Amino acid sequence: MRIIAGIFRSRRLQSLRGMKLRPTSDRLRETLFNILGPQIEGSRFADLYAGTGAVGIEALSRGAAEVIFIEKHLPAASLIRRNLDSLGVASGAAILSVDALRGVEMLAAQHAAAREERMDIVFLDPPWDDDKEYARCLGALGSAEFFSPGARVVVEHRRNFSLAENYGRLRLARVLKQGDAALSFFELAA
C-alpha cells in the first residue's frame, strides 16, 4: 500500500497482518481523491473507521490542513500512529481511539467549544458485513452541526450494497462503482 500523490507520494504504509482490516485499494483511493480534487487543499478531513489510516494520510499528503483519524481497534490506531511517525507527521493529525459514533460526538463537542472548527470532508468505511453500522453513523452525521458549507461525506461500501438517498441533512449526490467496491458521495441539503 502506497501514497498516491502529494508530498508523501510513493511512500509505503504498513498494514496489519490477517484480514482484520480491509484497506481501501490504491486504485479506489486515487479515484476518490481525483474526484475531491482541490477541495482537499486546506481542508479539515475526518477518516472514520480509519484502519491503516491510508485515506487520511493521502489527504494530508495532498494538502489537508488537519485530519482526524477515528479508529476503535487499538492495534489499528497504533498502526496509524506508526505510519504517521514514519512519514514525519508531527502536526495536523489526531487519532481518536473510539468507535465512530463516539468520534462523531467528540467532533460535535469540539465544534461547540470552538465554532470555527468545522469539518469539510468526512470519509467512512465501516465493516462491509455490518449493514446497520452504515445507517447508525450516517444518521449521526446527518444531524451533525459541525460541517462547513459545501462539505461532503463519502462512504465506501461493497458494490452491491445500496445506501438510502437521505440521512438527515445528507443527500446522496453520486455513486461510483469500481471493482467490488463503491463510493457514495453525500452533500448537505440547504
Q: What is the mean pLDDT of the chain?
A: 91
Separation between Cα atoms, residue 102 and residue 188, nearest integer Å: 21
DSSP state of 13: -
Q: What's this model's pTM, rounded to 2 decimal places?
A: 0.92
Cell of 158: 461493497
158 pLDDT higher than 70: yes
Place of cell 489526531: 94
21 pLDDT higher than 70: no
Cell of 49: 473507521
Q: Is the Cβ–Cβ distance between 22 and 51 less than 8 Å?
A: yes
Q: Is the Cβ–Cβ distance between 114 and 35 less than 8 Å?
A: no
List of residues 6+ apart from 90 with CB closer than 8 A? none
List of residues 6+ apart from 92 with CB closer than 8 A? 60, 64, 65, 66, 67
Report pLDDT digits (tens) over 65-104: 999 999 999 999 999 999 999 999 988 999 999 999 999 9
- The alpha-carbon radius of gyration of the chain (Å, integer) is 15
pLDDT of residue 116: 65
The dihedrals phi and psi of 113, each to the nearest 5 degrees, come to -80, -30
Relative to beta strand 119-124, strand 93-96 is unpaired
pLDDT of residue 7: 80
Q: What's the pLDDT band for 190 if we cut at 50, 70, 90?
A: confident
pLDDT of residue 24: 77
* Average of per-residue pLDDT across 141-147: 94
Q: Check if CATH label 3.40.50.150 holds for domain 26-188.
A: yes
* Average of per-residue pLDDT across 19-42: 85
pLDDT of residue 114: 74
Q: What's the pLDDT band for 166 if we cut at 50, 70, 90?
A: very high
Separation between Cα atoms, residue 101 and residue 66, nearest integer Å: 20
3-state secondary structure of 11: coil
Q: Is the Cβ–Cβ distance between 171 and 165 less than 8 Å?
A: yes
Short-list 130, 172, 159, CA closest to 28: 159
